[in-house]
Structure 1
Amino acid sequence: MDKILIKNAVVVNEGTQFKADILLQGNIILKIDKDISDTTAKVIDVEGNYVLPGVIDDQVHFREPGLTHKGNIETESRAAIAGGITSFMEQPNTIPQTTTIKKLEEKFNMASKTSYANYSFLFGGTNDNLEELKKLDRNACSGVKLFLGSSTGNMLVDNEEVIEKIFKNTEMVISAHCEDESTIRENIAKYKGLYGDDIPIKYHPIIRSAEACYLSSSKAIALAKKTGARLHVFHVSTGIETALFRNDIPLEKKKITAEVCLHHLWFSDVDYESKGTLIKWNPAVKTANDRELLWKALLDDRIDVVATDHAPHTLEEKDNVYTKAPSGGPLVQHALPAMLEKCKEGKIPLEKVVEKMCHNPAKLFQITKRGFIREGYFADLVVVNRDDPWKVDKKNIFYKCGWSPFEGATFNSKISHTFVNGHLAYENGIFSEQRNAQRLTFDR
């Protein structure tokens, strides 16, 4: 098998930084040590730059099948590896929806042919597919997704009896989008009465309010405690919700965990004036105070994971009045650079970024031998130059939709190399024609 020797790395892994060489053989990290020598290996000297585990993004929407004018597995996974994301978990609200085992396996088949990054998919729970969900092997995919608030794809699960049965009948992680639908509908009716369809975007975080988020997430958490279900709350967006989560036990012992997305850590409601519907997400970007409380909960370990909720739409779709502009935006290429920018600002230690974006998704979903730089683990690695400024513009954006909410921003850190299962998949803006992605496996 081919060997690659990464020389002069500063390895960031499991809470520490240390200088080392890393020897890869085939898909695997063979050895981590100082001054490794191997005359049969291809040498890549990273010249003292950081080497991180590949990022695992537990929430993306790559739009295939059925919505491929926005993006597809090939284009968006390609952008992901340019952003240091080597594994992703894609969501079920495609066309058709991933709500049967047959449709789930069809998605795996698609990804096996086109993906640049390692892949898994979430199985969508609905009001009427409980029997199908019961047939799903607990190691078949990354978990179950429930939309407890409406979003793109109209997969709202609002039958409380069914929700409780789903909670009682799966051993897998249940990932939930939590927003209270009745609160949102009342708020939309109120603002449509005032403005019609052209509601000013500044009211988005009031329509999809903190109250709507808290009502839904607190209810889901109460049900998880009642049933013993393993619940993961996606994209927490409010300060008030952070009080619902624990930090007094290690992640491996938590039955209820939480994720925050990059946009809720970066933007606030003041940005609607300049960004408009480009930063329209569900749940909404809220106040600067909410953002600060999310950072606090991330740093003190009440929030366990940082993800993207990458959800591309075309600019033409986004350039609509409020009620017709879809929610979501592309983020996989820029999430890690944005978090590294926060490291540079002193907001978060680099080791903590690695914990939240690499280690914890692997632990939480019990992914086999990924998320860490360890001998015997899959060689998913990212080389980062922390002092190579670059500006986001349309010329260097890889998303199929061709835009980014970060356009015009300058990031000081640049991803120079991305290895996927020991294969150099991306190097300084150039993608390998060979793909070496694998279906994620789980130890449950």
Structure 2
Amino acid sequence: MTSTLIKNCTLVNEGQIIEADLRIQKGRIEQIGSELSAQTKDQIVDAEGAWLLPGMIDDQVHFREPGLTHKGTIASESKAAVAGGITSYMEMPNVSPSTTTIDALHKKYEIARVSSAANYAFYLGATEDNLEEIKALDPQTACGVKVFMGASTGNLLVENPVALEGIFRDSPVLIVTHCESGPVISQNQKRYDDKGIQPVIQDHPIIRDAEACYRSSSCAVQLARKYSSQLHVLHITTEKELALFEAGPVQGKNITAEACVHHLWFSDQNYPEKRNLIRCNPANKSATDRHALIAALHDGRIDIIATDHAPHTWDEKQQPYPQAPAGLPLVEHALLSLIDHVKAGRMSIEQVVEKVCHNPAIRYGIRERGYLREGYFADLVLVDPKGSTAVSHGDVRYLCGWSPFDSHTFQSKILSTWVNGSQVFDGSHAYPMPGTAAALRFDRS
């Protein structure tokens, strides 16, 4: 078996930037050091000073399989993910049928085992009557329970107070929530209906406003405090919600918060140009809210950055605003978008690595991933900080065939991605190999 020796790289890891070499052997990081000597079996990669980062761990994606495979598949979207430097993901339950039983969960793991380009885990979806399924989850293998506290359809919508109490009281794993209040959204929509006004995309953050988010997220936080639950609130979009969360390191927190790359990039000022392509739930809010999210990354009120990758077809997005679905594809350019923030001085590359690699590993208890450490799995991404990546709809790897970043040129380039020591992206082509990716495992008491 050959090994890989990455020479002359700039390692970004655990708050430090150092010049070093790194050797991969048997799927793991065997050695990190200065001027490592090449061995006969080594495949040499000269990084020429490029950044070597732990692979991004994306704790929130929608890959649409099973049942919605005209939008995306585990194979197609994970291939785009590794091209974007994402080496592990956690996928959501709102597929068809919804992933609300342990049997359905196992079936998704089997699909990923034979088709995923990146490491994988899947959430069990909460309903108002599947508490026994939740209680039976194995904390060592299940990444979490997803609770749609409003803003969903079918049996995944959980608004019954008794059902919510049971989930927060009895879940043996991390609870992750989508927080938007259905009653507040309905009340806001009714104002348009009463006046006979058909809302347009610019009305999206007015209908799904800050109060809708705060009403729901504050309820989740209150329940978590009542039952000492492990709670992670996904995709925070408003300055108002940030008051619910504590500043400081992620270690030891029972309640954590997340921001997504598109909410850090777009605001309501982008709706006239991007229109339904950036329609998402929760909505992109004001520029003031976006600036507040970035500030919260610095003081630790926002612990993790993820994507909420959620593809829909081009035709679906071209429908009038009331019919157009919410969600956008993001995994291929998420890390590059964060590096653009670094170039603009809004955050540091060390902070990016903390929020997309270290903190997801800590919060979820992921075993031996998320760091550049000897003995850890070799999930790596090599980035040229002096390169560039031009985005156009025609060049993306998503099955849906479009990107909200169309016509933007990012100020860096993904040169290579390794998953469990195997190179799955070479800067131009993604070539996932069967059996390379693995199910994530968790160390939890």
Shorter-chain-normalised TM-score: which range?
over 0.9
Q: Which stretch of structure 1 is more off in the superposition, 39-48 or 278-287?
A: 39-48
1:191: Cα distance to partner?
A: 1.8
SS in 2 for 1:56: strand
Distance 2:176 2:167 in 1: 12
Q: Distance in 2 between matches of 1:192 and 1:383?
A: 51
Change beyond 3 A, Cα 1:63–1:153: farther
How far off its partner does 1:152 sit? 6.4
What TM-score do the two structures reach when normalised by structure 1?
0.98
Identity of aligned residues (%): 51
Structure 1 runs of 4+ with >4 Å offset: none
How far has the Cα of 1:5 moved from its partner?
Answer: 0.5
2:421 is matched with 422
Residue 251 of structure 2 aligns to a residue whose secondary structure is helix
CA distance in 2, matches of 1:312, 1:241: 26
- Aligned residue for 1:12, secondary structure, equals strand
Report 1:308-387 matches (<5 A): 308-387=307-386
Counterpart residue number, 2:225: 225
Q: Displacement of 1:231 after TM fit?
A: 0.4
The answer to whether the aligner puts 1:199 opposite 2:199 as a matched pair is yes
**1:45-444 mapped onto 2 (5 Å cutoff):** 45-151=46-152, 155-195=156-196, 198-248=198-248, 250-435=249-434, 436-444=436-444
Taking the aligned partners of 2:46 and 2:74, their CA distance within structure 1 comes to 31
1:434, 1:57 → 2: CA distance? 20
Q: Which runs of 5+ in 1 are unaligned?
A: none
* Secondary structure of 1:275 counterpart: helix
> Cα deviation per residue 1:115-141 (whole Å; 9 max; x = unaligned)?
000000011110010111111111221
Secondary structure at 2:48's aligned position in 1? coil
C-alpha distance after superposition, 1:12-45 (max 9, x if no partner): 0000000111000011000000111122211111
Q: Note if contact 2:380-2:419 (Cα within 8 Å) is conserved in structure 1.
A: yes
Opposite residue 200 of structure 1, the aligned amino acid is V
Q: Which amino acid aligns with 1:44?
A: V
Partners of 1:151 and 1:282 within 8 A in 2: no
- Matched to 2:313, the amino acid is T
Q: Please give the alpha-carbon distance, in whole angstroms, between the structure 2 residues aligned to 1:74 and 1:154.
A: 27
Give the conservation status (yes or no) of the 8 Å contact 1:370–1:377.
Answer: yes
Distance in 1, matches of 2:307 and 2:287, equals 19
1: distance between equivalents of 2:250 and 2:257? Answer: 10
Deviation at 1:154, TM superposition (A): 6.0
Distance 2:358 2:400 in 1: 30
What secondary structure sits across from 1:296 in the alignment? helix
**1:325 Cα deviation from its structure 2 partner:** 0.6
- State the Cα distance separating 1:195 from its structure 2 match: 4.9
Deviation at 1:49, TM superposition (A): 0.4
- Give the C-alpha shift of residue 434 in structure 1: 1.9
User: Any conservation in 1 of the 2:149–2:177 contact (CA below 8 Å)?
Assistant: yes
Q: Is the partner of 2:220 in helix, strand or coil?
A: helix
Q: Is the 8 A contact 1:93 1:152 kept in 2?
A: no
Residues 420-442 of structure 1, C-alpha deviation per residue, up to 9 Å, x if partnerless?
A: 00000000211225241000000
CA distance in 2 between partners of 1:388 and 1:137 (Å): 43
Give the residue type in structure 1 aligned to 2:50.
Answer: N
Residue pair 1:93, 1:153 contacting (<8 A) in 2 also = no
Residues 195, 53 of structure 1: alpha-carbon distance in 2 compared, 3 angstrom cutoff: farther
Distance in 1 (alpha carbons) for counterparts of 2:323 and 2:331: 24
SS in 2 for 1:226: helix
Secondary structure at the counterpart of residue 339 of structure 2: helix
TM-score calculated relative to the size of structure 2: 0.98
AA in 2 matched with 1:116: A
1:20 matched to which residue of 2?
A: 20
In structure 2, how many angstroms separate the alpha carbons of the residues matched to 1:15 and 1:210? 33
For structure 2, which runs of at least 5 residues remain unmatched after alignment?
A: none
Structure 1 SS opposite 2:145: strand
CA contact (8 A) 1:94 1:153 kept: no
Q: Give, as a single letter, the amino acid of the residue that structure 2 aligns with 1:226.
A: K
- Cα-Cα RMSD: 1.1
Q: CA deviation at 1:244?
A: 0.7
CA gap 1:152/1:407 in 2 versus in 1, 3 angstroms: farther
Measure how far apart 1:4 and its partner are. 0.5
CA distance in 2, matches of 1:177, 1:344: 31
Tell me, what secondary structure is at the counterpart of 2:350? helix
Could you say if the C-alpha distance between residues 221 and 277 of structure 1 is closer, same or farther in structure 2, counting changes exceeding 3 Å? same
Query: Which moved further from structure 2: 134-143 or 202-211?
Result: 134-143
> Match of 1:78, as an amino acid?
K
Q: CA deviation at 1:337?
A: 0.3
Per-residue deviation at 1:241? Answer: 0.5
- CA–CA separation in structure 1 for the residues paired with 2:343 and 2:329: 23
